């Protein structure tokens, strides 16, 4: 079993090699909008998982996830060769590509937080306009209706039962 720090360094190196190869060496148009976001290497350094995202051609265009996955699957052998040449490790790790769902989850969380803020503002506005249903101070004040100022249900303030 390798050192976890070594596995992290190797994952970072693999990530940069693969990202550079996708950007400059691989001429597949399906990979034009693919970005490598993270890489993880197993403890024995034999398997690497690379996380990627896909952007659309424009902001309004939906990304083509299936085409990107097919392009990565086709380029896996070439990318593994580049990783082997660039890292110099005895055993070149196998590469597995996984679509990174963190950006979508973050976007969803931001939408939920925005909805919660809007709901909180609505509640705050309604609370500011609200009036009490009964008296403005519904609690019994000491000395109000009780000559010694104590609570008639609990006894007086000295602790003696009435």
pLDDT for position 23 = 92
**Mean of all residue pLDDT scores within the chain:** 86
pLDDT for position 157 = 54
Taking residues 41-60, report their average pLDDT: 90
User: Are the beta carbons of 50 and 16 closer than 8 angstroms?
Assistant: no
Residue 61 vs residue 138, higher pLDDT: 61
Q: Which domains does the chain have, with CATH numbers?
A: 4-100 (3.30.300.20)
What does the pLDDT look like over 120-160, one tens digit per residue?
999 999 988 888 777 777 777 776 555 555 555 555 555 55
Asked if pLDDT for residue 78 goes beyond 90, the answer is yes
Taking residues 97-123, report their average pLDDT: 91
CA distance 25 to 21: 5
Lowest mean pLDDT, pick from 12-21, 75-84, 116-125, 146-155: 146-155
Asked if pLDDT for residue 39 goes beyond 70, the answer is yes
The per-residue DSSP string of the chain comes to: ---HHHHHHHHHHHHHHHHHHHHHT---GGGTTEEEEEEEE-TTSSEEEEEEEE--SSSSSPP-HHHHHHHHHHHHHHHHHHHHHHH--SSPPEEEEEE--HHHHHHHHHHHHHHHHHHHHHHHHHHHH---SS-SS-SPPTTSS-TTSSBTTTB-TTS---
What does the pLDDT look like over 83-102, one tens digit per residue?
999 998 899 999 999 998 88
């Amino acid at each position: 079993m390798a050192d976890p720090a070594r596995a992290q360094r190797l994952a970072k190196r693999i990530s940069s090699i693969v990202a550079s190869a996708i950007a400059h060496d691989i001429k597949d148009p399906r990979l034009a909008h693919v970005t490598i976001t993270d890489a993880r290497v197993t403890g024995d350094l034999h398997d690497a998982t690379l996380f990627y995202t896909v952007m659309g051609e424009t902001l309004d265009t939906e990304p083509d996830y299936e085409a990107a996955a097919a392009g990565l699957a086709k380029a896996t052998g070439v990318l593994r060769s580049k990783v082997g040449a660039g890292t110099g490790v005895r055993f070149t790790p196998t590469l597995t590509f996984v679509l990174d769902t963190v950006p979508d989850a973050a976007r969803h969380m931001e939408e939920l937080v925005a909805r919660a803020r809007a709901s909180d503002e609505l509640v705050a506005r309604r609370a500011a306009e609200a009036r009490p249903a009964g008296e403005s101070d519904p609690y019994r004040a000491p000395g109000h209706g009780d000559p010694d100022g104590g609570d008639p249900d609990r006894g007086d303030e000295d602790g003696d039962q009435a």
